[in-house]
Amino acid sequence: MSRLAKKPIIIPEKTTVTFENRVMTVAGPKGTLTKEFSRPIIDIQIAEGEIILTPTDQEQFTLALWGTYASHIINMIEGVNNGFEKKLILEGVGYKIAVVGSQLEMALGFSHPVHMPIPEGIEVTVEKNTTTIKGIDKELVGAFAADVRAQKKPEPYKGKGMRYFDEIIRRKQGKKSA
């Protein structure tokens, strides 16, 4: 059972939440997010500044979705009020990253530069070797950060590559000379 979904979700000031035809729309100071909750096994009620989720039955799948729906709604409310941010650090001699127009251009030690289009609704800034990805949709920010990191994952011997700001790379010793 979900402990998260048992509590009512508080709607902050300056935020409007509507739920019609299984589609939830959350509007706040930073923008608007919509999400379709296609399965009608969780009853969603909006009343007096809070959202209450109740499962229609006690099956395991329903109870799992109960927490998932609550988590999605909380992330939508957090996103339109504060936004989300991921930081990536690029380490390695000769490795470069830059924002060129609506693309991310990277030199990652390959014979060619790597170009990635920046999705709509995401803001990317680069300072030296730190890339900051910001947006209101947590899923979109996390997925784009993962795609950028996947272009050159950090390696365990010298630590070269793209890593998250708070990620710790376990280093290996390497070859020993006789």
Among residues 163, 158, 171, 167, the alpha carbon closest in space to that of 89 is found at 163
Angle of helix 60-81 versus helix 138-150 axis, rounded to 10 = 90
Q: Of 3.40.50.300, 3.90.930.12, 3.50.50.60, 2.60.120.330, which CATH number belongs to 84-164?
A: 3.90.930.12
Rounded Cα–Cα distance for residues 163 and 66 (Å): 33
Q: What are phi and psi of 87, to 5 degrees?
A: -115, 135
Dihedral over alpha carbons 72, 78, 79, 82 (to 10 degrees) = -170
Kindly report the CATH class assigned to 3-81.
alpha beta
Rounded Cα–Cα distance for residues 114 and 126 (Å): 16
pLDDT in tens, the chain (178 residues): 568 888 899 999 999 999 999 999 999 999 999 999 887 888 999 988 899 999 988 888 888 889 899 999 999 999 999 999 999 999 989 899 999 999 999 999 899 999 999 999 999 999 988 999 999 999 999 999 999 999 999 999 888 999 999 988 888 888 887 6
Helix (H) or strand (E) holding 96: strand 96-100
